[in-house]
């Protein structure tokens, strides 16, 4: 029996998230006395695959197939479900990101496996199987019982620390049986405009609110994000005003994100805004009102005028980076 983790790749490379998933799956496998196995779909070099051995994975099933070049939920579901059956997977672990959110529910129906999504910790109890997940946009945790023999967990990014645990890993190149299921979706066009990271996947996010006063003041926000290899975001009024594109709006009615580090600059910290960002591991707030609610959510705060503080911060970071 095994714990099967789907380790997505980005143009043939793994990200920190992949290692978080591997760490989580290995710990879970240990608890359950099962084998931690990973499945990778797409063209990934051997060296890259080997990296997962550092996080306790015992077997890597690598599938390369031209028909799987494009991410299509139906074909990917079939491939992963077939492997899960072959490897007697009792637990499937995926990321709580776009790919995981598209695959986990489909796998659930196919394998009749209950799902806990957006989980940040190991199960509390194994039998019955009880695991905690965030609900009400982070305002509560729910203890969820998964009642099926096979279970699926999607792990929230940045919620589980990496556990280095070198293992002897075998890499098995496997074939996918795609008889009778051609992908029905096809990518017609890709527009790369921003060069920026996908907000929902970014490790670091720099976000500005109405306290930034004018779209002309966004320069240092862009710079800070650039220096940190992060993405930019904003509060809802900022995108409503057309200061920033709508894709950047985070919160209850916008994107829900969980970066490692979130800068809230000139953002008051309304509950609807926090609903989208409170799962961030660290929050830094810059606001000229020391009573702004954002400081209750933040670990680090600077009380001051953002238009003055921010350029200094950018300058200091530039220095620190070149040192």
Give the interface with ligand FAD as residue ranges (CB under 6 A): 209-211, 235-238, 249, 251-254, 266-268, 270, 272-273, 276, 286-289, 292, 305-307
Give Cβ neighbours of residue 19 (< 8 Å, ≥ 6 apart): 51, 52, 54, 55, 162
Please list the residues that pair with 204 across neighbouring strands. 261
Structural contact between residues 93 and 105, judged by C-beta atoms closer than 8 angstroms: no
Among 21, 60, 275, 277, indicate the residue that binds other proteins (CB under 8 A).
275
Task: Tell me whether the omega of the peptide bond preceding residue 128 falls within 30 degrees of 0, making it cis.
Answer: yes
Q: Which does 237 bind (CB under 5 to 8 A by kind): other proteins, ligand FAD, none?
A: ligand FAD
Choosing from 23, 108, 207, 235, the residue that interacts with other proteins (CB under 8 A) is 108
- Comparing CB distances to ligand FAD, the nearer of 47 and 291 is 291
159 binds, among ligand FAD, other proteins, none (CB under 5 to 8 A by kind): none
| Residues binding other proteins: number (CB under 8 A) | 97
Closest CA to 24 of 165, 137, 195, 132: 165
Distances (CA, A) of 182 to 20, 61, 75, 178: 32, 22, 7, 7
Q: Is 296 in the site for other proteins (CB under 8 A)?
A: yes
**Of 160 and 295, which has the nearer Cβ to other proteins?**
295
Question: Does residue 85 interact with other proteins by CB under 8 A?
Answer: no
Answer for which of 144, 155, 265, 267 binds other proteins (CB under 8 A) is 144
Half-sphere exposure for 46 (CA within 13 Å, toward CB): 5
From the list other proteins, ligand FAD, none, partner contacted by residue 186 (C-beta under 5 to 8 A by kind): other proteins
Residues forming a β-bridge with 232:
206
Q: Which of residues 213-252 bind other proteins (CB under 8 A)?
A: 228, 246-247, 249, 252
- 138 touches other proteins by CB under 8 A: yes
Q: Which two tokens stand for residue 283?
A: 């929050």
- Of 50 and 296, nearer to other proteins (C-beta) is 296
CB of 4 to other proteins, least distance (A): 18
Q: How far is the CB of 310 from other proteins (least distance, A)?
A: 9
Region near other proteins per CB under 8 A, out of 48-56, 61-69, 162-170, 295-303 = 295-303
Query: Which is nearer to ligand FAD, 99 or 270 (by Cβ)?
Result: 270
Min. distance of Cβ 251 from ligand FAD in angstroms?
2
d(CA 242, CA 233): 13
Round to whole Å and give the CA distance between 257 and 262.
9
Q: Cα-flanking dihedrals φ and ψ of residue 140, to 5°?
A: -160, 160
Residue 230's nearest CA partner among 238, 220, 222 is 222
Q: 105 vs 237, which CB is nearer to ligand FAD?
A: 237
Name the residue among 319, 288, 2, 27 with its Cα closest to residue 155.
27
**What does the alpha-carbon distance between residue 155 and residue 107 come to, in Å, rounded to a whole number?**
15
R_g of the chain, CA atoms, integer Å: 21
């Amino acid at each position: 029996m095994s714990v099967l983790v789907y380790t997505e790749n980005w143009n043939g490379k793994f990200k920190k998230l992949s290692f978080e998933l591997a760490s989580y799956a290995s710990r879970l496998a240990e608890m359950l006395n099962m084998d931690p196995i990973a499945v990778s779909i797409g063209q990934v070099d051997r060296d890259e695959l080997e990296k997962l051995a550092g996080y306790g994975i015992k077997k890597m099933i690598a599938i390369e197939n031209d028909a799987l070049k494009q991410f299509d939920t139906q074909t990917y579901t079939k491939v992963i479900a077939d492997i899960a059956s072959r490897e007697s997977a009792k637990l499937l672990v995926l990321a709580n990101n776009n790919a995981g959110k598209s695959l986990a529910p489909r796998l659930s129906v196919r394998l009749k496996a209950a799902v806990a999504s957006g989980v940040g910790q190991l199960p509390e109890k194994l039998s019955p199987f009880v695991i905690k997940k965030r609900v009400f946009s982070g305002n509560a945790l729910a203890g969820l019982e998964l009642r099926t023999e096979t279970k699926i967990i999607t792990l929230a990014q940045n919620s589980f620390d990496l556990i280095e645990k070198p293992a002897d890993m075998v890499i098995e190149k496997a074939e996918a049986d795609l008889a009778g299921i051609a992908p029905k979706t096809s990518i017609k066009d890709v527009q790369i405009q921003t060069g920026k990271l996908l907000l929902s996947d970014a490790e670091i996010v720099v976000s500005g609110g109405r306290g930034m006063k004018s779209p002309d003041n966004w320069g240092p926000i862009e710079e800070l994000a650039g220096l940190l290899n992060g993405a930019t975001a904003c509060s809802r009024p900022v995108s409503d005003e057309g200061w920033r594109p709508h894709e950047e709006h985070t919160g209850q009615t916008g994107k829900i994100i969980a970066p490692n580090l979130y800068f809230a600059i000139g953002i008051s910290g309304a509950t609807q805004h926090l609903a989208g960002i409170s799962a961030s591991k660290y929050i830094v707030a810059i606001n000229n009102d020391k009573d702004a609610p954002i400081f209750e959510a933040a670990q680090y705060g600077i009380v001051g005028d953002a238009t003055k503080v921010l350029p200094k911060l950018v300058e200091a970071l530039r220095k620190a980076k070149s040192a």
